[in-house]
A and B are shown apart, each in its own frame.
Chain A
Amino acid sequence: GNSVTQMEGPVTLSEEAFLTINCTYTATGYPSLFWYVQYPGEGLQLLLKATKADDKGSNKGFEATYRKETTSFHLEKGSVQVSDSAVYFCALRRGSTLGRLYFGRGTQLTVWP
């Protein structure tokens, strides 16, 4: 079946620290991979995506590379800010499953000044 596993949080960092949130997936075929971010009290927003192996998605200083050999899509940022505090969700999508997104459980990130 299709599933996503994220590292469990919470993750607490100081401002300007390096961030990695691990994400691995299980899927048949060739899924697309996504990272969504949820700020307090809000809905989920698309952060970045990658649609094929070796693609790198990037946005707002965040990056993730689609690694088919390790079935991973780890989220990284070189220098986090207090405003990055949020919950981050990794997800995969396969069109053959009627476009359903499969989400990980989410990772809470808190950044202290």
Chain B
Amino acid sequence: NAGVTQTPKFRVLKTGQSMTLLCAQDMNHEYMYWYRQDPGMGLRLIHYSVGEGTTAKGEVPDGYNVSRLKKQNFLLGLESAAPSQTSVYFCASSYSKDNNYGYTFGSGTRLTVV
């Protein structure tokens, strides 16, 4: 099915380890976003991209890096994981920034840092 695919779905990391979360969309969307979801906090924007080769910081970018080398892929990296990064991570994409369009979300990556 067309949509947004996130890998992996689950991961446990030790403090200080690094990892990359992959988001892939096959809808030719220009805009892509990474959010984290924590209990009682809703969704907070980490980084986003408005097109291939572009990235920008959101509300909570510290400790994360991103890359958008291909239009269909948006990678989120943790260079040195910390317990505070234990969360559920969602990727989303959108056709444009036009108000009329919502987002298509992936099913999430549940990350635990011990």
- Seen from chain A, the residues whose Cβ lies within 8 Å of a Cβ on chain B are 30-32, 34, 36, 42-46, 49, 51, 89, 93-95, 98-101, 103-106
**Inside 8 A of B97's CB, which chain A residues have their CB?**
95, 98-99
Cβ of B96 within 8 Å of any chain A Cβ, yes or no, is yes
Residues of B within 8 A of A93 (CB): 99, 101-102
Are the C-beta atoms of B41 and A32 separated by less than 8 Å? no
Residue contacts A-B, CB under 8 angstroms, 28 given: A31-B99, A32-B100, A42-B107, A43-B4, A43-B108, A44-B43, A44-B105, A45-B105, A46-B102, A46-B104, A49-B100, A51-B99, A51-B100, A89-B43, A95-B97, A95-B98, A95-B99, A98-B31, A98-B48, A98-B50, A98-B97, A99-B31, A99-B101, A100-B48, A101-B92, A104-B42, A105-B41, A106-B42
Q: Are A103 and B105 in contact (CB under 8 A)?
A: no
Known A43-B107, A43-B108, A104-B42; contact A99-B94, beta-carbon cutoff 8 A: yes
